[in-house]
Structure 1
Amino acid sequence: MALFEALYGRRCRSPIVWFEVGHESMEKGRLIRDSLRTAQSLKKSYVDVRRRDVEFDVHHWIYLKISPMKGVMRFGNKGKLSPHCIGPYQIFRRVGKVAYELNLPND
């Protein structure tokens, strides 16, 4: 006996059984798929409005974004107070469309 059957006193209806029920289940499945597709499209349009690829030229000065790790001492500060960006550093060469090699200090 399956756990579901022991707990609820009836057999679990798997997705295979849903499609055997009939046309109504197929319509509900189609409606769910369409709703998910619409929601995904809406979220993507919101993200695309704010997203942009920033391009720089060689010898420009930029700040390097770092991800602070919880509980790790970095750059003299710990936790919330640790910096999110460090620099400025000069761009040495362009590696890809939005990837660059920086002139970082030895330390």
Structure 2
Amino acid sequence: MVQAAVEGVQIIRERMLAAQSRQKSYADNRRRPLEFEVGDHVFLKVSPCKEVRRFERVRAVAYRVALPLDFEGVNLVFHVSMLRKYVQDPSHVIQHDTILLKDGLKYQEQPVAIVDYQVKSLRSKDIALVKVVWQNHSVEEATWELKEETRAEYPYLFQS
């Protein structure tokens, strides 16, 4: 009985190793090493977020990035996963918005307007949603939020 269990565990281990090896070979084919030189131009990928956020220092694979003066107080060290290679083109002009940072390098996203309403029907109830456009973001980046939570937190959006 014990021998059968040991053999079963051994078979499971072998199959898991085979699966891990297969997954690693797929991942390695898609992964390419990213290295930057001094003077390279990069895009900094920052995800839009509606909560309070803090820019934090990263360990391991990181680069120090020279940012515009508007970003004074932001840590200049970023993980390589947040950077994308950019081939400089003189005709390409990038407009960036200034984000006001509070003490502790925090910022608070504020909703600007509600652009759409929707009622999602589940089996036993209906959920009212609103599509909210956030400050410093375009209409394409608007997010769906619960109507009642949004009304409680930002009543001025519902006055008109």
What's the TM-score, normalizing by structure 1? 0.50
Computing the radius of gyration from Cα coordinates, the structure with the larger value is 1
* Higher strand content, 1 or 2: 2
What's the TM-score, normalizing by structure 2? 0.35
